[in-house]
Structure 1
Amino acid sequence: MIHFKNDNLTVFQSSLYQTTSAIIQTDDVMIMTDPNWLPHEVQAIREYVDRELGDKQLYIIYTHSDFDHIIGSGAFPEAKVIASEELKAHEHKEEIMQKVNEFDQRYYIKRDYCPHYPSVDHAISRDGERLELGSLSLRFYKSPGHTHDGLFTVVEPLGIFLSGDYLSDVEFPFIFSSYIDYKNTMKKAATILENHYIQVHVPGHGSVTNDPDEIMKRLKESTYYINHLLQDGEKLEIHCREQYSFFDGMKSIHFENIKLARKEDGKDH
């Protein structure tokens, strides 16, 4: 499962949708994102944590509330949880957990822990909010659009950018909450890349990269998609087929994106 590793960062990648779970560790703290998906994958992450944690405090950052990103929550009861205030106050927690149950029912999956909606210890309420954890300084930025409760995290001084389900190399933008918010979040991502020294980018789905040109390419591709969603229907679809290997598997989301964008754009005029 280990997809990327350097001195301070280990990233696990699930077989499902190339979903990632990052572990950042120093001598005094361990920080994880979105433990997922399948039982043996969550168990592999659990075993890694057990080997490496020692007497350090474990933190989990939930990048957003999509069920695939919180499905491993019950496997790490000792962790302190960081997430946006919107995730903490989500109005549809039961429906999200029902999706976890439906997934496990559909595929006859048994887990050795009980999944639950994360109980948030540190709720992030504003852009630029900082949390000092040992020798690390975490800077947070709200990232609505994919969902309304998304969170970007920059881990300093390591230069790690945890973007959740944005800036993926395998997925075009999935707009589940707001097209207008998504456009603004892309601008915010550009500002983050401009104002922080980012050395490693960890997307919620896809490949980790430490190539500055690749990071900027991801921003460019996502921004291009968002900006052309209401303009070049057939041209954009051709572009997506060339850019994203699994487009046929997610093209229904592309058409839903167009519907949502048209609806919001119509309200603006």
Structure 2
Amino acid sequence: MIQYQNEHVTVFQSALYQTTSTVIQTKEMILIVDPNWLPNEIEAIQQHVNTINGEREIYLLFTHGDFDHIIGYQAFPNAKTIGSLELHNHPKKEHKLKLIRDFDNQNYIVRNYPIQFPELDIVIQEDGQQLHLGDATLTFYHAPGHTADGLMTVFEPLGILIAGDYLSNFELPFIYQSAKAYTQTLEKCAMMLEKHPVRLLIPGHGAVTTEPEEMKRRLDLASDYLKRLRKSVIANDEAALEALYQEHAFLSSFTEECHKENVSIMKREY
């Protein structure tokens, strides 16, 4: 379904995990971000892009390499692809593809495009690296912590922050790579919100927001959670850790495993 739309931006939301896919259009180009999940959902994105395309260049941006975010890669075979150097050099590409194949097979899903790991045309190597596309400027920031290959993008002059799997309105941090790096990424987010006139924040899961107060609330929520998790791990406070787990939305075996991973990484690093 379409969660948010204005003359330049359309944000689609999957029925699965409230995962977002974004299409941004200017006079010169179209940018597609993380097209996902189900075939009919990806087809809706394709139809939208075909409707607005004209003769504009199409770019496909990946915020990171988790399988749900790369699952629609080959649905846009003519797009120029953008991602981080860490995504380009991802050490577990075949594992990510296996997760897609397993998901599709378990759910009897048939897709009309091949399953492949993204091959990048434009590799973002440096923090703050910029890409100028017509009158649009994309500024990229490495965002490790959730994963090593995370990438946040500020799209100007529209004032859009594409946050990847950070700054959700409901989802607490899932630390798959590093708690220390996650904290540093949140500190970088604070800098980005100060440096850039962000008018629209798009998370990888959940609702967009145009409100500066809500952007700050999400940043504070994630930062506070990590501080309390670190304190509880250092103190070996099982009651506090259980209370932190209960704060996760949509409690399930999935969130339980994510919580255990958060605790494990915190113990390893602290």
Both structures adopt the same fold (TM-score exceeding 0.5) = yes
TM-aligned CA deviation for residue 98 of structure 1: 0.8
Q: Hey, what's the Cα distance between the residues in 2 that align with 1:13 and 1:169?
A: 14
How many Å separate the matches in 1 of 2:144 and 2:56? 32
Aligned-pair distance for 1:122? Answer: 0.6
TM-score (norm 2): 0.94
Q: Which runs of 5+ in 2 are unaligned?
A: none
Aligned match of 2:249: 245
CA shift, 1:82, in A, is 0.6
Task: Report deviation, 1:247.
Answer: 3.5
Alignment-derived partner of residue 267 in structure 2: 262
Counterparts of 1:237 and 1:227 in 2: how far apart (Å)?
15
Q: How many residues align?
A: 264
Structure 1 residue ranges without an equivalent (≥5): none
Bigger Cα displacement from structure 2, 1-10 vs 226-235: 226-235
Out of 228-237 and 196-205, give the one that drifted further.
228-237
Alpha-carbon RMSD across the aligned residues, in angstroms, is 1.4
Structure 2: how far apart are the matches of 1:254 and 1:214?
24
Question: 2: CA distance between counterparts of 1:116 and 1:256?
Answer: 27
What do residues 230-266 of structure 1 show as CA deviations (whole Å, max 9, x unaligned)?
Answer: 2245446546645x5314451331122011111111x
1:253 & 1:59 partners in 2: Cα distance? 32
Partner of 1:55: 55
TM-score w.r.t. the length of structure 1 is 0.94
Q: CA deviation at 1:222?
A: 0.6
Given residue 36 of structure 1, which amino acid in structure 2 is its aligned partner? Answer: N
**2:26 — aligned with what?**
26
Distance in 1, matches of 2:9 and 2:133, equals 15
Match of 1:223 in 2: 223
Match of 1:80 in 2: 80
- In 1, are the aligned partners of 2:245 and 2:256 still within 8 Å (CA)? no
Paired-residue identity, %: 45
CA distance in 1 between partners of 2:90 and 2:246 (Å): 34
What is the correspondence of 1:1-269 to structure 2 with a 5 Å cutoff?
1-232=1-232, 234-235=239-240, 237-238=242-243, 241=246, 244-248=248-252, 250-265=255-270
- Runs of at least 4 residues of structure 1 off by over 6 A? none
